[in-house]
Each structure stands twice: as structure tokens, then as C-alpha cells.
A and B are shown apart, each in its own frame.
Chain A
């Protein structure tokens, strides 16, 4: 009688068992390779999960809010492109004409109820909705350079800057150790300190800090950094801190109620040798600057149901005609923003601190 290949007797023959173990080894090897790729065998690897975990460890958990730049307000308005940017990039954002924008003003840091203050970095996030349906998202800060060069440094700096629960202030020794290891951060912080902050959101200059590549019609790619330069006159931040915990946002709300607030989008074109992979280093003066158009902020909305609430201002949501540079912060920001977005979209959000009300 022929051997039944599906029978228990056949499967338990020595030859079958050897072959079955071989199959097992193949499967375990593939599963092991997958586990290694997924980072399960290297728990120290810095991934988006761990980065956002650290924000929560340092700032506490604030469900429903962005894990960084947590305190903010939505805005809507227009970008009127001058057409000049089209020399640098084929992106429809730079075609001459007007397009809607959605954006957000915020304070850097992961505390949604933090008091406004002179130490907080201010940010403007923006989505350009260009006429061909393409989108460009960018999040800019009112500092001249970024304090860290890559994700690991950012992660380590978060821990070094964590307030000691006993004193409520960061341990200066921990920051000293961090700065000794990161001279580029020490240099960047000196540049940041040297530039006075403006008195409000409306008269601040917001800088891209990271570099992107703008690709023109001849497929020539040039490194570009960009800034939103205010029409409102620069006034340095006054000494002392007002009692109103929302004084910066309240002033912005009053300013927008008064009349639309405008910025010029200025594109700065890098020269060969200008660093594209290190946002802690400024580019030299005298670079070609192109006036690409005017941003007009028309109205503010609270982010409890404002249009910006469910947008992740991922710096790599780019239109055709703009691509990533070798700046390592871009990919890291993209990954970390995505994780922050996924967590907060699954959470109920309490009301935000900033409530512009209707009619603003």
C-alpha cells in the first residue's frame, strides 16, 4: 500500500521531521529578519514612537493636543503669489495669483495651557492650497536657526531640558553636559539669544530653518530657505511679563480684528557650500532673496473645530517642484508629526486655551 503523504505516520518519519524542521528554520529566519527591520530587537533605536513618548514624559500627557507647539490658534487667509518664485520652482504655489491658505500660530513646547511668555518660541504653520490642487505645508519659527541638528540631538535635548520635579526648573548641569556634547547647539543658542524677539505674533519674522530643494522648469534644483517677513513694524519685546497668561494670543486676536495682517514670503537661495543638512548654521549674508508674494491672515478660529485642527503640518507635504534636501530634520519631523497626529486624532480634545470667539 502506497504511503499516504498526509498521514501522521508519514509526517513523523525521520526524513519528514528533518524537512519540517528545515521549513521551520526558514520561517523563523524570515520572522526574525522582520522583527529586526521593525526595530523589535533594538529597543534603543530612536523611532517616532519613542520621540513622542519623550514629549509626553517631559510635558505630561495632554490628550487631544499636538505633542509639540501644543498651544495655538487656527487662521485662514490668502497667499497672493507675485509670480517671482516661478523662476526657482515649477510649483503652482508660485504661479502669479491668489490661493487660499489654512494655518496656525502657536508657541513651541508641549504644554497646551502654558502661559505666554518672552522665552517661548513662536511659530506659524501654513498650508498653501495651490490652483492645481497641490498642497505645500510648512511650519516656521521666529528664531534665526534651529537649536539642534538631528533627531537624536532633539531627543537628548528634550531630556536635558526637562524640569526637575523638585525645583520646577531644568537641571543646569544636565544642560551643560548636553551643550558640551553639542557645540553646534551652543553656537545656535548664542545666535538665537542675540536676535531680539518681537513684541507679538503679528510683527514676528518666521523662518523655515530647514532647507528644501526648489526645482525649476529646466530641472535645476537649488537649495532654498524661506521666511515670512511681517508688514507690521518690528517692536522689540518689552521687558517684564504681563499678568494675562494669553497676552500674546490676545494681542494677535485684537490685531486681526482690527485689520488683516500681512507677511511677505521671501525665498533665500543658497550658494554652493551653504549647509543644507544643518539647520543650526545660518547661511551667509548677501544671498539672493526673492519676494514670492504676500500672505494675508484674514481671520482666526479656535482649534477646537477650526480648519487647522485635523491638519498635520508635515514639512514633507510638498508640491511637485519642491523636494526634500539632505537635512535630516525633515524626515524626522515628518515621522514624529505623523505619530503625534495619530495619537491626538484618536483622543477627545478638551477646549484650547486660545478662544478668538466669533467675528474675529
Chain B
């Protein structure tokens, strides 16, 4: 198998990989430190919105430019897991920033981005909504971290053990 992902797909993939991993660590550090909390929130919020924009671009790109097929020899179950985990990643990449934005809206927080430019609320200021969305943001973040670990584990296994060209299709 020699087909690779188009350049734009690879660029989006690796840029988002770095940013999402950074985002997960910033999020974890944020809630575990009172002294660094505000500095980290100030990174977390705009980075989240950037990731929302990037995943939207990426989804359009994914629908327009179809990825190279998985190796014919790959067992159907593995193929299914590969496809399902990719769509789970897409779902979480959309859900996390949207739930974050929604939870700040429901909590009645202003959402400043740059200077006095604010994002509008996407949900009403509502106690019950906030109480659901705030913990959901945390649970989804852990789920994204676990999915990322599975994705990385699978990628490295393709590269080192299967040696079937799947890993190479995303690096060159």
C-alpha cells in the first residue's frame, strides 16, 4: 500500500494532534492548580475555539478528499474498529469545544476572545444546563484522552508490528 493522505489532511492532522494533546494537558493542569488556574484558562478558552474552527475545516476536507483505503488484508474487525474510532475522535473534537462554549453560556460567564470581542452565548443562562454540561466537559475530556491513547497505540502498532503502510500514509 503506497497511497498517502493529501498534504492538507496531514497538515490538519498533525497540527491538531499537537494542539489537542496540549489542550488536554492544559485542562488537567488547570483544575489541579489554584496558582496557575487563571493563566491556563486564558490559554484553554481561545485554543478551544481555534480547535473548533480547525475540526470544522477538517471535517469538510475529510468529506471532500477521501482518505486512502485501509489494506485489503486487514481483518474486517480491525477495519471496523479503525473507522469507528476515527468517527469517535471527530465526534469528541466537535463535542469538547461546543460543550465548553455551551457550559460557559449556561453558567452566565462572558466569553472574551480578543480585546472586547466576545463570543455570544449559544445556550441560555441556566442552572440545570450548567450543572450537566460542566461535568460532561470533564468526562468527555477523559474519553478523548483515552481515545487518543488508543489511536496512538494503534498507529504505532501499524508502524512497528503490522508494517502495512497505514502509519506511513499519514507521515508522508
Contacts and interface: CB of A to CB of B under 8 A. Distances in A.
Q: Are both chains from one complex?
A: yes
Interface in A100-152: 132-135, 150-151
A34 B28 contact: yes
B35 A34 contact: no
A262 B6 CA distance: 65
A331 B108 contact: no
A39 B32 contact: yes
A114 to B, nearest CB: 24
Interface in A26-41: 26-27, 30-31, 33-34, 37-39
Contacts of A23: 153, 156-157, 160-161
B108 A316 contact: no
Given A19-B160, A23-B160, A26-B156, A345 B130 contact: yes
Contacts of B81: none
A94 interface: no
Interface string B144-170: 010001001100110011111000000
Contacts of A190: none
A336 B33 CA distance: 10
A19 to B, nearest CB: 4
B118 A133 contact: yes
Nearest to A23: B156
Interface in A1-35: 4-6, 10-11, 16, 19-20, 22-24, 26-27, 30-31, 33-34
Interface stretch (B37-45, B46-54, B90-98): B37-45
A37 B127 contact: no
A272 interface: no
A336 B116 contact: no
Nearest to A6: B75
A41 B163 CA distance: 36
Given A23-B160, A134-B116, A48 B31 contact: yes
A135 B115 CA distance: 12
B28 A38 contact: yes
B68 interface: no
Contacts of A48: 31, 34, 37
Interface in A272-330: 309-312, 314, 316-317, 319-321, 324, 328, 330
B69 interface: no
A34 B38 contact: no
B35 A38 contact: no
B29 A38 contact: yes
B43 to A, nearest CB: 13
A16 B25 contact: no
A6 B145 CA distance: 26
- The range of chain A's interface size is 35 or more
A24 B149 CA distance: 10
B34 A37 contact: no
Classify the interface of chain A: helix, strand, loop or mixed. Answer: helix
Nearest to A91: B116
B38 A324 contact: yes
A20 B116 CA distance: 51
B11 interface: no
B118 A37 contact: no
Interface string A316-360: 110111001000101110111000011001100000000000000
Contacts of A151: 34-35
B107 A345 contact: yes
Q: Which of B110, B145, B163 has the most CB of A within 10 A?
A: B110
Interface in A45-104: 45-49, 51, 92
A335 B28 contact: no
Contact of B162 (A5, A316, A317, A321): A5
Nearest to B157: A23
A317 B31 contact: no
B131 A346 contact: yes
A27 B153 contact: yes
A336 B38 CA distance: 11
B152 A331 contact: no
Nearest to B112: A320
Contact of B37 (A92, A133, A321, A331): A331
Contact of A312 (B28, B35, B75, B107): B107
Given A20-B161, A134-B116, A310-B108, A37 B35 contact: no
Contacts of B78: 6
A21 to B, nearest CB: 11
A50 to B, nearest CB: 9
Contacts of B145: 34
A18 B90 CA distance: 32
- 4 closest cross-chain pairs (CB), A and B: A39-B32, A335-B37, A346-B131, A38-B28
15 contacts: A5-B164, A26-B152, A31-B149, A34-B28, A37-B25, A37-B28, A48-B34, A92-B116, A134-B110, A310-B108, A330-B38, A331-B38, A335-B34, A342-B131, A345-B131
